[in-house]
Structure 1
Amino acid sequence: MPRYALKIEYDGGPFAGWQAQADQPSVQGALEAALARLDAGFAAGARVAAAGRTDAGVHATGQVAHADLEKDWDPFRLSEALNWHLKPAPVAVLAAAQVPQDFHARFSATGRRYTFRLISRRAPVTHERGRVWQVLQPLDLEAIRAGAAHLVGLHDFTTFRSTMCQAKSPVKSLDEIRIEALEVPHGMEYRFHLSARSFLHNQVRSIVGTLERVGAGAWPPARVAEALAARSRAACGPVCPPQGLYLTEAVYPSDPFGD
């Protein structure tokens, strides 16, 4: 059975997350339903595996999944057929590629990259509603960057993970937090770019929620280091909502899509 990698983009708003659930819509469920229209194995209940199990409301511009199909497909024709059958769900297959049998979307990945979008302005967002987190107060970019610097590197991130996190260890290496600021009409957009081999449950949202408090002046930057050292969920700042979070890339030793 040939194995295919799929690069997927989706709006997470209508879904209860990536993972298939019996009684709620999921991105995995939408993709598998489309595959079932094309492949007998998926019609019989085969499953796809993904690089990251995004939560309810979280978006993706570079999710990667793999699927074992019963016949050979030209990758372009496969992506076109899947996009036809995915309508009208806000899910798109950006690219497909045949990959070796030992390729695994989750376990072969050597890194993940997320972006969180935060808009600061008084007027409500309109076009970006459901795709960003909006706060009303102005933020201090340099203070945010100073707070973020305490989190880069290998740390015990107990403070910044959900109490429901199933990871065996809270120790993770956060390779990068890069924050950029872009002008929007009557406000600013802040984009938080985070890279790591893997992330804990709610780690990105916990970090961004804490750094927003730094930018708003409620926390000094040094308090981020104190919260990290506390290794206690009680020391974390507010967890920000999911709609500003995007899985932008899964990194592999060799890019399965060749781009």
Structure 2
Amino acid sequence: MGLCYSGTSYCGWQSQPGGCGVQDHLERALAQFLGCPTRTVCAGRTDAGVHALGQVVHFDVPLQREPSSWVRGVNAFLPRDIAVQWARTDLPTTFDARRSAYQRRYRYVLRNHPVRPALDHARVGWTHRPVDLDRLRAAAQCLLGEHDFSAFRSSECQAHSPVKTVQAIDIWREGDYLIFDLRANAFLHHMVRNIVGSLLAVGNGSKPVSWLAEVLASGDRRLAAPTFMADGLYFIGPDYPAEFNLPPTSTRIGLLI
């Protein structure tokens, strides 16, 4: 299944004892639709407050239904801010939502304006200081390729290795909005938010362009900028080999970008 959700009201993707995770709501909806409990596996866990445009999950059940039935049926039991976008029942048993993905993509949308957002509250990040786009792009170059990203890793991260490969970081401006688009084989806990926070320290002139490379090389989380707000962060989704022929994810975020 492909899912879209607003993360504002949830404590992240992962199931929690209090039932506040997106996974909890999805599995409750599946249980109501199926008449039996089932567990789901996702392509990438999102933090509390983080949104998703193309989260992908898989699960194994004995029940056969048409894809359209899965979409309509499960959506009938989901909250209004979580929606199944598509379903596939013809994938090979080798498909795994997490392990089959070869890269993942996040987008951070940031309002760069003296006044905080109102209608876009919780849907975009915000910084009031002027930000230089050329400085952002220059600093980001050092993050491309395979590196140890311990300096941008949360202390709660459960990943087996801090070494990840960043394929691309694209940064551009549309009106009052700055957009950061990051692609990597995988991301550490808080990695995108920590990178964006550190890039902004360079972009607003607080730190020199060379500072980001020094932070990366240090492997010391204490030297990087504070973790930036979750508002405005979107999990665009995973990419899979063409053989699976999964539907593409729209990258349009509501009426914004």
Check whether TM > 0.5. yes
Aligned equivalent of 1:147: 139
Q: 1:126 aligns with which of 114, 118, 127?
A: 118
User: Are the equivalent residues in 2 in contact too, given 1:60–1:248 (CA < 8 A)?
Assistant: yes
Indicate if the aligned counterparts of 1:8 and 1:64 stay in contact, CA closer than 8 A.
yes
Give the whole-Å Cα distance in 2 for the aligned partners of 1:220 and 1:167.
30
1:169-223 deviation per Cα after TM superposition (whole angstroms, max 9, x unaligned): 211111100001000xxxx211110001111111111100000111111011111
CA contact (8 A) 2:13 2:23 kept: yes
Query: 2:87: which partner in 1?
Result: 96
4+ runs of 1 displaced by more than 3 Å?
none
Quote the residue 1:251 is aligned against. Answer: 239
The structure carrying a bigger strand percent of its residues is 1
1:256 CA displacement:
4.5
Q: CA deviation at 1:77?
A: 1.5
**Out of 4, 23, 36, which is 2:18 matched to?**
23
Match of 2:253 in 1: none
Whether the 8 Å CA contact 2:43–2:237 is kept in 1: the answer is no
Residue of structure 1 equivalent to 2:196: 208
Compute the displacement of 1:85 (Å): 1.3
**1:5-16 mapped onto 2 (5 Å cutoff):** 6-16=1-11
Q: For residues 102-133 of structure 1, give each alpha carbon's deviation from its aligned partner in whole angstroms, at most 9, with x where no partner exists.
A: 21111111110000111111122111100111
TM-score, normalising length: structure 2: 0.92
* Residues 1:234 and 2:226 aligned together: no
Moved more, 163-172 or 135-144: 163-172
The residue identity in structure 1 corresponding to 2:44 is G
Structure 2, unaligned stretches of length 5 or more?
Answer: 249-257
Q: Separation in 2 of the partners of 1:122 and 1:73?
A: 52
* Counterpart check, 1:194 vs 2:189: no
Residue matched to 2:255: none
Q: Aligned with 1:97: secondary structure?
A: coil
Q: What is the CA distance between 1:41 and its match in structure 2?
A: 3.3
Q: What's the % identity of the aligned pairs?
A: 39
